[in-house]
Amino acid sequence: MNIKNEDKKYIANTYRRFDLDLVKGNKEFLYDSSDKQYIDMGSGIAVNSFGINDEKWKEAVIAQLDQLQHTSNLYYTYPQVKLAKLLSKKSGMKKVFFANSGAEANECAIKTARKYSSDKYGKGRYTIVTLENSFHGRTITTLSATGQDMFHKDFGPFTEGFIHVKADDIEKMAELIKSGSICAVMLELIQGEGGVIPLDKDFVLKTEKLCKEYDVLLIIDEIQTGLGRTGAFYSYMRYGIQPDIATSAKGLGGGLPIGATLFNEKTQDVLDYGSHGSTFGGNPVCCAGAVNIVNRINSRLLSDIIEKEKMIRTMLEGAKGVESVSGMGLMLAVKTTKSAKEIVAKCMANGVLYLTAKDKIRMLPPLDINKKSMEKAIRILKEACE
Ligand SMILES: Cc1ncc(COP(=O)(O)O)c(C=O)c1O
């Protein structure tokens, strides 16, 4: 099969693919159809938390496949409840709604915030504040939440009730929160698709305080930052805050699709019978895999992630062609003097797969990447930057 021709003929044109077919892998290694090996510094965009073909995760998934692949949410299933209980324990949240993707997890957060406000304050208090340069998904409503015009072109009209504020503009944020028309503020603490830019801590703490004071819900989008990625289970722990709603996906499933919306004491009972649902949400196989992933994100792994971040920063410090490194834990981006696209292509030719975010090179390697492979990948990156 000529995969490039067939792909072009049968697949919608939404993805600009690299000139690379991937057929298998093992841990941090991927292989193409000619058996060339690549070090994976992208993890399927922060999805394959413990790499490819991970034995422990696979065992959990296959064991569940042997039992039951799907029922519906009309019945109780054990993996779903186990996962919800574990997530609550690890996150400090109280209840969970399961969906299938990040965008859906955010849709649920948005619906919940609006219902919370409508139940308590009546109509009209429905607007959600998000940030410029944010990314919250591709459905019409999560696109409306997304503060980047390049994603909006051609798709209007949008869901009304979203305002985008400049990151760190606390005066504007305060004015809006106090206005009486806002039901929630929704933030990525590290803007991922926007270029791996961490928000200023003072801005985040002040926003949290204002939200509490004016009973405006704080939603933290942990879809890219969650599940240990930044060196804490969720990135809000690194900021020392506790949201009213948190959304999770990507790394949670370890490679199978799952999304989760987590609620605290204030929001746990907002959704009631019939107000939300999903056919596949909380699928037993996805949940069984996710239980395995969540159980393995322990303090040893988290401190290892922080150590690896330090190693990467040390290796790149002062390197020729490297302007700066941003991000947290194993969610990092490198600003280079040469074009990021050219560097990524060069690294690919030399057996390492990197991602880009805006004009930067982005890395999201498996959380347990072998240090030697990681060093090799960074060495190849450095050479490409020169
Ligand atoms: C912060 C953030 N929110 C939401 C999404 C959307 O997730 P999904 O593609 O699973 O719908 C993404 C995806 O990149 C993301 O990075």
Ligand 1 centroid from CA 192, angstroms: 9
Query: 193 in ligand 1 pocket by Cβ < 6 Å?
Result: yes
Query: 135 in ligand 1 pocket by Cβ < 6 Å?
Result: yes
Query: 51 in ligand 1 pocket by Cβ < 6 Å?
Result: no
Ligand 1 centroid from CA 235, angstroms: 15
pLDDT at 108: 98
b/e per residue 27-57 (b: at least 16 CB within 10 A) = bbbbbeeeeeebbbbbbbebbbbbbbebeeb
pLDDT at 358: 97
pLDDT at 258: 98
Residue spans of the chain under pLDDT 50: none
Q: H helices of 332-370, where?
A: 340-349
Fill in the DSSP letter of residue 199. P
Query: 42 in ligand 1 pocket by Cβ < 6 Å?
Result: no
pLDDT at 182: 98
pLDDT at 284: 98
Domains of the chain: 3-53+299-385 (3.90.1150.10), 68-296 (3.40.640.10)
Ligand 1 centroid from CA 195, angstroms: 14
pLDDT digits (tens, 9 = 90+) for 278-313: 999 999 999 999 999 999 999 999 999 999 999 999
pLDDT digits (tens, 9 = 90+) for 186-232: 999 999 999 999 999 999 999 999 999 999 999 999 999 999 999 99
Which ligand 1 atom lies nearest to the CA of residue 250? 10
Query: 107 in ligand 1 pocket by Cβ < 6 Å?
Result: no
pLDDT at 18: 95
Ligand 1 centroid from CA 127, angstroms: 21
pLDDT at 318: 95
Which ligand 1 atom lies nearest to the CA of residue 134? 1
pLDDT at 326: 98
pLDDT at 316: 98
Which ligand 1 atom lies nearest to the CA of residue 224? 16
